[in-house]
Amino acid sequence: MGRRGIVSCALGAVIACSAGTADASVLISAPAPFTKKCGARIEVGVWLRQDGQPSAPKGTIAIRTRSGALLWRKRVRATTEWRYWHYRPRCGGRYVVTYRNAIFGVDRFNVRVRR
């Protein structure tokens, strides 16, 4: 029984990754826009479109500086309803948001926060 994952940006950009035939899809909300104003939050989220899949996939969402320092990490389980988390970054910073899942691999998004 295979699984197929879809990565989705809240504004509509879609990146697909697959691992076999489709039973369930995990969608992730990318932190759009990728360039934010000072004071804006980075919002991340996951959702499971369940097609007979008995359990929800687990994963990790992390936010790091460009140099790799960990600022925020959350272990998540995709459910059949969207779940969101927020991080308020410093102004003038550049960040890397990473979604990691054993089945679908790693997806990275670069986010810049203006001064």
pLDDT per residue as tens, the chain (115 positions): 333 344 433 333 333 333 334 456 778 898 989 999 999 999 999 988 776 655 668 899 999 999 999 999 999 988 888 999 999 999 999 999 999 987 778 999 999 999 9
Q: Look up the pTM and report it.
A: 0.75
Separation between Cα atoms, residue 54 and residue 51, nearest integer Å: 9
Q: Are 78 and 47 a contacting pair, CB within 8 Å?
A: yes
Separation between Cα atoms, residue 90 and residue 20, nearest integer Å: 40
Q: Hey, what domains does the chain have and what are their CATH numbers?
A: 3-113 (2.60.40.1930)
Distances (CA, A) of 83 to 25, 45, 46, 71: 15, 5, 6, 20
Q: Are 43 and 34 a contacting pair, CB within 8 Å?
A: no
